[in-house]
Structure 1
Amino acid sequence: MTPQQRGAAPRASADRLGRLLNLVPYLLARPGIRVAEAAADLGVTDKQLREDLELLWVCGLPGYGPGDLIDMAFDGDRVTISHDAGIDKPLRLNPDEALALVVALRMLAETPGIGTRDAIERALAKIESAAGDLADAPVAVRLPANQEKLAAVRAAVDSGHALRLTYYTAARDETTERVVDPMRMLMVSGFAYLEAWCRRAEGTRMFRIDRIDAFTELAEPSAPPVGAVPHDVSDGVFRPGPELPLVTLRVGRGGRWITEYYPVEEVRREPAEWLVTMRVTDLGWAQRFLAGLGPDVTVVAPPELVERIRSQATTALDQYAAPQPAAPEAGR
């Protein structure tokens, strides 16, 4: 598929959705209308209108049983809506709905990685025109922090050049230098990311914009290898796999929240505690994360992590046990 075809696909879908939303009230007002006449009014071919009608047959209200779906009757080349499933008026937005759509579209237009920005801006212009004075309401739409950095990285990516990054890796608590070949920018779970081929790791990596300490645009073009495949981020950035360390925890009532915020492989609910297994990026990250959870979480495995946390706790206790030098008296 060519870039032109990819750009046309969202527009065609949006046009069809608008046509379907207005097709039911149009047909209700014209029972028994000829298909050819309706197609001419709507500016589509007979074939396209018949395909739209076939799609309407499986549309309706949640439940999707008898009485929930749109129904129609054909008499030769004439069509009549016999059940509208409640879709009996063209779409009309009240002021609150119009303003909510304007705000949502403004936010979407500012989101990195959106490839149909022109379609979003066209839709926004139409809704703002229909909303009238509401579109001028004093509502400021801003993405999370790092706006200047985000705009600078986006401009560098659009230039098509490779980048030299100074990047902080939270999982290993270290800052590294690396050269990357940008592939795209995207927003996942409220964070902006640069996805690029990392020459140091020799693989596709996701770099959080707020963790890029500095970057330099290089003269050479961005050239990801043929095998550089974008990540599937439909379920988030972190995709635990069997190659990652497996950690087993004994979790009390106060620590059960981690099973809702982090991917876990298994939860065994015992009367007093839960036994939780989860994959982690590395044991260094797990040590820092689990050491801060307090007595509600106890590490069961692997032994290396148990020993790391025991050693860290012992060192901390020794620091408290050591006598502290007396503060000098005032005036001396």
Structure 2
Amino acid sequence: YGPRVQVVSPPGLVTSVRRRLAGAADFAAAPAPPIAFPATGSARHGRKRTSEDQLTRMLQLVPFLVHHQGLHISEVAANFGITREELEADLRILICSGLPEGYPDDLLDIQWEDDHVTITQDLDLNRPVRFTVEEACALLTGLETLNSLPELAEGGALESVTLKLLAAAGEEGLKAAVLSGPEVAPGNTAALETARQAIRNGAQLRLRYFSPLRDTASTRNIDPLRLYSLDNTWYLEAFCHSADALRNFRLDRIDALETTGQPVSGEAAPDGKLPVKLFTPNDDDAVVVVQLTRQGAGLADEYYAERTAQLTDGGLLAEIRFGSTGWLPMFVAQHGGTARILEPEELAGSSREWLAAALAQYEDQPLRRLE
């Protein structure tokens, strides 16, 4: 929290905070390397796969295989967007997985020696699964979001399913039902319907969009991909031809939306998850160039850097989009000398000032050695 908070005890924590702030300030004040990124468009830095990605994939893999017995291993791998080697690694883990007792008959039995993947012991995964109260409540929240859409008439299938789940989930279900997603404001109804129709028909749209950050409105052609709500706001995800990349447009900032009479280009497709990732590009973002040391290079993956360039000392230059810049000094301080802002200079300068003000609070305190 920098200059807004001063730690006074215990002494070990004071020393820890001071060391981290000092490390960040020293790195921020060091000479900057030349900023240059590869000129080719293929220089984007993709996010590395993590164990969390693998777990999510394996949870989807078992029911997929149960319902697609005998599918060729290359088709299975292609369906999940992974290599054959990655798929085989997943399968080797799955054949050691099963019911809690751990007996031989309680393990998944998966065969793929003939290049066709089959499950001969699926542990009754074909049985209908009974929802827990927590799962029913989560589903109710989503159903209430759909029920709030203006074009859905009362008394339909959604309402019927919602009522049945409410009855099954009891009092907890009633609580979940009030946690629905945002309603579509009357002024956004036309844009939502135009976007939905264009997505259904594969039609290109012309969008006039207001950016509060720049205090300007811009017009561009987009290929609409999907609509979703996040943090009480409705978004239209689309491929923007001006930016030549995926962008997310807030429905309440769309001034005008109309078809161009052209089909979509087919240059991009939605990821399949909502939201696409922890951070999705928006036209209100600040594009920041960050220098990362060898120890901090992994931050380029964590923050979905759009471009990276290797430095001679093993570190990286990374171009990252941030939706809010107010917390960037905290980001720099948090990493204690492994990350700093290079551009824009205004943000780099405010970060250095923030660190200096934070350190000034500890000038009269001796720097103790950490045990």
TM-score, with structure 1 as normaliser:
0.43
In our comparison, the structure showing a higher alpha carbon Rg is 1
* Greater RCO (CA < 8 Å, at least 6 residues apart): 2
